[in-house]
Amino acid sequence: MWYLINNIISGDSSPAIKKFSVAIKSYSILIILKNNMYYAMNMECPHAGKSLLNGTCSEADEIVCPFHNFKFNMKNGACTNNNEGYRLKIFPTKVENNQFYIFIEA
Ligand code: FES
């Protein structure tokens, strides 16, 4: 189902990258606003379970884990610099009527 997330859309366009964290059901979710695109992903890195909150974003729309520098595509979760099959959980997002939503399976 779609979950409304308040206080994500502010209307200010200042920094190119913004991060937010929310908890929904059993998930801790990292939301990244980058160049007017929203991405939502599991906060927990699939490699060793560390937090991605302090990760950086690459030019190629990857989140780079700050612990062992694995990179994950923020659209599909694929690990782009390691072939051991790690995949980051990605959540669909949408903006409707200036409200931000994340989809979580029931
Ligand atoms: S915990 Fe993220 S790359 Fe190892």
3-class state of residue 2 by DSSP: strand
In a domain, 39, yes or no: yes
Confirm whether pTM is higher than 0.85: yes
Distance CA(20)–CA(5), nearest Å, equals 10
Q: Count of domains in the chain?
A: 1
Asked if residues 61 and 41 have their Cβ atoms less than 8 Å apart, the reply is: no
> What average pLDDT does the segment 86-102 reach?
96
In a domain, 74, yes or no: yes
> What average pLDDT does the segment 61-85 reach?
97
* Residue 20, domain CATH: 2.102.10.10
Closest C-alpha to 47, from 18, 102, 105, 89: 89
Output the pLDDT for position 12.
67
Give the position, in ligand 1's atom list, of the atom nearest the Cα of 45.
2
> What average pLDDT does the segment 49-61 reach?
96
Residues with CB under 6 A from ligand 1: 45, 47-48, 50, 65, 67-68, 70
> What average pLDDT does the segment 58-62 reach?
94
Cα 81 to Cα 55, 96, 104, distances in angstroms: 15, 34, 27
Residue of 64, 67, 71, 81 to mutate, ligand 1, most atoms within 8 A of C-beta: 67
Residue of 30, 41, 42, 45 to mutate, ligand 1, most atoms within 8 A of C-beta: 45
Q: Residue 54 sits in which domain range?
A: 2-9+16-101
Output the pLDDT for position 14.
64
Residue nearest (by alpha carbon) to ligand 1 atom 1:
48
In a domain, 106, yes or no: no
In a domain, 50, yes or no: yes
